[in-house]
Amino acid sequence: EFTFDLSTAADKDLLLAPAMKVSKSADTKVNLAFKHAMHKLAINYASDGTYTQEQLEAVKTTCTAKSSCEVNMAAATVSKTADKTAAFEAAGKAVRFLLVPQTSEEVTLKIEIGGKTVEHTLAGLKEVLKNATQEIPATLDGGKCLTLNLTFGKDGIVVEGSQIGGWEDQGTVDGDISM
């Protein structure tokens, strides 16, 4: 077991595969099924015409969330999330954050555009968003992705859609390693 901290990790996309029992002299292939351990939060911004494309490209998003967890490498599990938090920043009209599994109440989004700022917990967004097509989940599970499509307008931010699902398929790698 080890502690994984997104705020200090060089590679934030932690992939885990459960340990496989193989005899020392076996001449068989071992297939490791890697899965993403972190949750991906994807936010896409648009405007109803109130803001220009330049302003959308300059949107600043700060995501404050728990950043540390305990990982059991042999079982390929994240066993618990620590209380340590960190602020992750991104700019642009499409931003992505990797988060340790945690509740949506523990994640705060601060969004700045055109001199205006809104700040809510991810769970609290459901109270201020209009036209939401899906509920924001109570927990952000590892290996899943929550996508929010937010539209800025003169009356505030409107949710055009949201979805949660598995991460995209990134292909298959086949190969042999002699040890």
Domain range for 96: 36-65+87-166
Residue 8 in any domain: the answer is no
140: in domain: yes
pLDDT digits (tens, 9 = 90+) for 75-106: 888 987 888 999 999 999 999 999 999 999 99
Count of domains in the chain? 1
Does some domain include residue 74? no
pTM of the model: 0.83
Q: Is 150 part of any domain?
A: yes
Tokens of 13: 């996309």
Question: Which residue in this structure is represented by tokens 């705020």?
Answer: 7
Q: Is the pLDDT assigned to residue 172 strictly greater than 50? A: no
In a domain, 15, yes or no: no
pLDDT digits (tens, 9 = 90+) for 146-166: 888 888 877 766 655 556 567
Task: Determine, yes or no, domain membership for 7.
Answer: no
